[in-house]
Structure 1
Amino acid sequence: MDSDEEYLYDCDSGNESSGDDVGLEFEIEGEGESGSSRYRETTENYPYEVLSTEDITRHMIDCIKEVNSVVNIPVTTTRILLNHFKWDKEKLMERFYDGDQEKLFSEAHVVSPFKTPSKSQRVPVKTSNGMEECEICFLNMPSAMMTGIECGHRFCTNCWTEYLTTKIIDEGMGQTISCAAHSCSILVDDHTVMRLIVDPKVKLKYQHLITKSFVECNRLLRWCPYPDCNYAIKVQYPDVQPVMCKCRNVFCFNCGENWHDPVKCHLLRHWIKKCDDDSETSNWIAANTKECPKCKVTIEKDGGCNHMVCKNQSCKADFCWVCLGPWEPHGSSWYSCNRYDEDEAKQARDAQEKSRAALQRYLFYCNRYMNHMQSLKFEHKLYASVKEKMEEMQQHNMSWIEVQFLKKGCRHPV
């Protein structure tokens, strides 16, 4: 492994709240005490680990080292390839050895490390006095002040720094920063980013984006959804199972929502979407209001006679609440309003009944959903108090086995 690549991962965990006075480069060679602070837990025979941001970084380094020991390519290229395959090591290995490596590198937007420099790099344009022109600011710079990546595009250090800072801070890009050249899609490697960025806050932000992307792309990892929690859950295989973070938040690993057994994940997604949109508001409006026949403003009748006057200042229409026709004929003849039109009445009745039925169905399930969520909160409080009681009883010369009846009684009440 080249020393330049070893430079890459001697860095902070990526937790933005961890402060600025930290090292900002990874150390691939250093094993560290991997897993020393990991919190291992098992829920109903479903093993998992709770990882801090430091553990996540070490886990990412271990994945890169494991793959790189087989493919033997630069570390930064390995990370880009792993990210391209969503950190599925087996899938990457399969594609790497299927015989079409050039296509693999092209799809991942990296230059093949097996190409010779003459084939992979463009020749920089130099003036007679050994200066190079930056293609961004068009200033002539000494060659020592110019920097390029594997694609061969070279720009001055200041332009590179400004470009990378904008991508990281303003656009929130980490894994997918492409070359500054307009028509080039080659991704900028980590070593180049860490070498050119001098602001510690920008470096910390970049590392945070890399770590965040690693968790979000990996099917065996999931961030704890609790607000301001920086822990992630690592499992051996993805499944619809409850997991508990160090912050005591219990959620479904498959979908990230609060544990919702026996409801399936896809049904819960539909339910949340229905609660978030305005469909039931529309049902209530359709069931309890009518529109002004002139300006179409929504009106609710809460009392009084059927003579309606629109309150819209630009409308002021007089109409009948029953038939929505002009009110003027009703003063002399009620025939047009009291005449029953079978088809029209049936259509209006069916539409209103459908809206009311949908609204009642929604309120039925919404009420029970809220009750169950409240019961779940009470259940968590009960489990916490039982656990404290069990610990207290063990301090009074009772064994762990002797106090298990409290736990069983809490799970299976009589």
Structure 2
Amino acid sequence: MASDSDYDDDFMVDTDDIMDGDSDSDFASSLSVSDNDEADDMAFDGAFAEKHERKAYEVEFSVQSVRNLVDSQNKEIEQVTTILGLPSKDAATLLRYFRWNKERLFERYMDAPENVLRSAGVSNFYNKNDTKHTIILAKDLPSTQQPFTCDICCDDDASLATAAVACGHRFCINCYQQYLTQKIKEDGESRRIECPQDKCNVIVDEATVQQVVDDKTWARYRELLNRTFVDDNDFLRWCPAPDCEYAVECHVPSTSLTSIVPTVQCACGDVFCFGCGLPDHQPAICSIVKKWLQKCLDDSETANWISAHTKECPKCHSTIEKNGGCNHMTCRKCRHEFCWVCMGPWSEHGTSWYNCNRFDERSSSEARESQTQSRLSLERYLHYYNRYANHEQSAKLDQDLYQKTEKKMEEMQQTSDLSWIEVQFLKKAVDITVQCRMTLKWTYAFAFYLSKTNQTAIFEDNQRDLEMATEQLSELLEKPLEREKIAQLRQAVLDKAVYVKHRREILLEDTAKGLLEGRWSFIVDVK
């Protein structure tokens, strides 16, 4: 998950638009990213608190509350009402028919207004002998409509309340209410609820629905209208987090998704891709993510062994189970230190010989002699998938660190002169570690589809540096507390966390610029 400070410049939320039951102060305190960052980052000596210009891998976006969405719809309706001179209820029906595309609506309406009104289910014709009131008692109807009989239930009681829309087809209020309730609650309809009369396509307007149905059904109707408004808008997307009622607005067109990864953060804290709705997958673009996930699904039977959480020690072949996020393993039997990912000696991973992230491309002649080309292709896939899955698993295991970290923070506060604010650096460091694990996970999907060029070598160098630094930070976080070394540990974690965050920014910045400049070439069609 991206850290809050990554989105200081782009996170725009109107603190006046509060959900019912929330106070302005609560809302502002929960969503004021820059203020929260400054508090959290005091322990980092201001390392992450500074403002920065928008980077190449960041996009502008805003979070919209339910009230924002309603206000936006009302503004659109008011504009159409003013320009076309129609009642607001008819303007709303037209906008929903054209999926809130005002330009298309104006163009079609100017060419053939009557045809557009008819197609959209709008009727501006009222019988002179009829009443324009939606609800009226049967006995109060004009004489031309007496006696009244409901065509649905056949009740002809003069004291019946009746309802109708502009088309004039009138039914008793009970039947109308049952009809609308079924359409809204059971069928989930809101945009195109037609008159109950057979073969009448006139739309039941919003005002009529509000008058006829109960409060609970009306609330559901409004919720459905808001959902259709967001679903019809290319620059709005609902936050995918469970029970979140916010939408995110981001003006990145779908045609730009081959060169931009539009990562956004909702007010609830969830970080996701605006383009596809999946959790943040920087630096891989949406089309690569789709291809990779499909490939992993198709090849899952072939690569079943990868899902196992145990491996053999390279030296004594003892079975070892990984129980933490750090990839620095020490065999309990022979004390051999090795890397869980590549199974190589750990001593090489802190030096210039560190090469864990690269796939060793053997020469074609050697490949033909040792194995078939298909086998080499599978081996290449397994190389990248193994590292992809490992970082995913390590991120999940690092999540367990939060509970351990909280206890460690309490212990550190009790055994030293550090305040609660000053020990927050541990939690922040865990946040950065998990964030980098997820970034590294998707770098392997990205690298799998990259063509081998000089630019690929630069990407792999950045990938290696981030991976090595993340491992070192993860190892520091798992160290047991020693009272006399708390100050040294704190400084080491602070320094390493700053460095890791910086390495992640370098990798994402270079990758994002490469996408925008068309510098990367892929072995598949990403368009």
Please tell me the TM-score bracket, short chain as reference: 0.5 to 0.7
Among residues 257, 260, 264, which one is paired with 1:243 in the alignment?
264
**Match of 1:64?**
77
Cα deviation, 1:183-206, whole Å, max 9, x if unaligned, reads: 2222211111001012x2111111
Among residues 217, 230, 233, which one is paired with 1:215 in the alignment?
230
Residues of 2 paired with 1:230 and 1:263: CA distance?
28
Shift of 1:89: 2.0
Residues of 2 paired with 1:144 and 1:229: CA distance?
42
CA 1:406/1:354 → structure 2, altered by over 3 Å: closer, same or farther?
A: closer
**Match of 1:102?**
114
Residues of 2 paired with 1:242 and 1:157: CA distance?
49
Shift of 1:77: 1.6
Conserved 8 A contact 1:252-1:258: yes
CA 1:184/1:411 → structure 2, altered by over 3 Å: closer, same or farther?
A: same
Residues of 1 paired with 2:434 and 2:185: CA distance?
42
**Match of 1:411?**
505
Residues of 1 paired with 2:100 and 2:165: CA distance?
24
TM-score (norm 2): 0.47
Based on CA coordinates, which of the two structures has the bigger radius of gyration?
1
Percent identity, aligned pairs only? 32
Cα deviation, 1:350-375, whole Å, max 9, x if unaligned, reads: xxx99999987775554344345467
**Match of 1:258?**
279
Q: Tell me whether 1:204 sits opposite 2:219 in the alignment.
A: yes
TM-score (norm 1): 0.58
**Match of 2:386?**
367
- Equivalent residue letter for 2:246: Y
- Equivalent residue letter for 1:207: R
Residues of 2 paired with 1:131 and 1:360: CA distance?
83
Which structure is higher in RCO with an 8 Å CA cutoff and minimum separation 6? Answer: 2
Residues of 2 paired with 1:76 and 1:129: CA distance?
25
Q: Tell me whether 1:160 sits opposite 2:176 in the alignment.
A: yes
Cα deviation, 1:136-165, whole Å, max 9, x if unaligned, reads: 001114387222112222111010001111
Among residues 186, 192, 205, which one is paired with 1:176 in the alignment?
192
Cα deviation, 1:107-149, whole Å, max 9, x if unaligned, reads: 32222x3x4646999xx99999932111100111438722211
Residues of 2 paired with 1:167 and 1:248: CA distance?
34
Residues of 1 paired with 2:435 and 2:301: CA distance?
44
Shift of 1:407: 5.9
Shift of 1:269: 3.2
Conserved 8 A contact 1:76-1:189: yes
**Match of 2:68?**
55
Correspondences of 1:2-401 after superposition (within 5 Å): 44=56, 46-97=59-110, 99-111=111-123, 113=124, 115=125, 117=127, 130-142=146-158, 145-198=161-214, 200-238=215-253, 239-240=256-257, 241-272=262-293, 279-280=298-299, 366-371=385-390, 373=392, 381-382=431-432
Residues of 2 paired with 1:191 and 1:255: CA distance?
35
The 10-residue stretch of structure 1 (362-371 or 259-268) with the greater mean CA deviation from structure 2: 362-371
List alignment gaps of at least 5 residues for structure 2: 1-16, 22-27, 35-53, 132-137, 305-371, 399-428, 437-497, 508-527
List alignment gaps of at least 5 residues for structure 1: 1-12, 20-35, 286-352, 387-403
Q: Which has more strand, going by share of residues?
A: 1
Residues of 2 paired with 1:183 and 1:411: CA distance?
60
Conserved 8 A contact 2:160-2:172: no
Cα deviation, 1:51-105, whole Å, max 9, x if unaligned, reads: 11122212221222222221221212212221222212222222222x2112212
Residues of 1 paired with 2:501 and 2:284: CA distance?
25
Residues of 1 paired with 2:70 and 2:237: CA distance?
14
CA 1:161/1:412 → structure 2, altered by over 3 Å: closer, same or farther?
A: same
- Equivalent residue letter for 1:183: K
Residues of 1 paired with 2:504 and 2:115: CA distance?
58
Cα deviation, 1:314-363, whole Å, max 9, x if unaligned, reads: xxxxxxxxxxxxxxxxxxxxxxxxxxxxxxxxxxxxxxx99999987775
Cα deviation, 1:222-261, whole Å, max 9, x if unaligned, reads: 0111122111111244354111112222222122112323
Conserved 8 A contact 2:181-2:217: yes
Residues of 1 paired with 2:70 and 2:381: CA distance?
45
Shift of 1:412: 3.3
| Residue aligned with 2:60, SS | strand
Q: Which has more helix, going by share of residues?
A: 2
CA 1:161/1:405 → structure 2, altered by over 3 Å: closer, same or farther?
A: same
| Residue aligned with 2:222, SS | helix
| Residue aligned with 2:148, SS | strand
Residues of 2 paired with 1:266 and 1:363: CA distance?
20
| Residue aligned with 2:227, SS | helix
**What is the aligned length?**
293
CA 1:206/1:406 → structure 2, altered by over 3 Å: closer, same or farther?
A: same
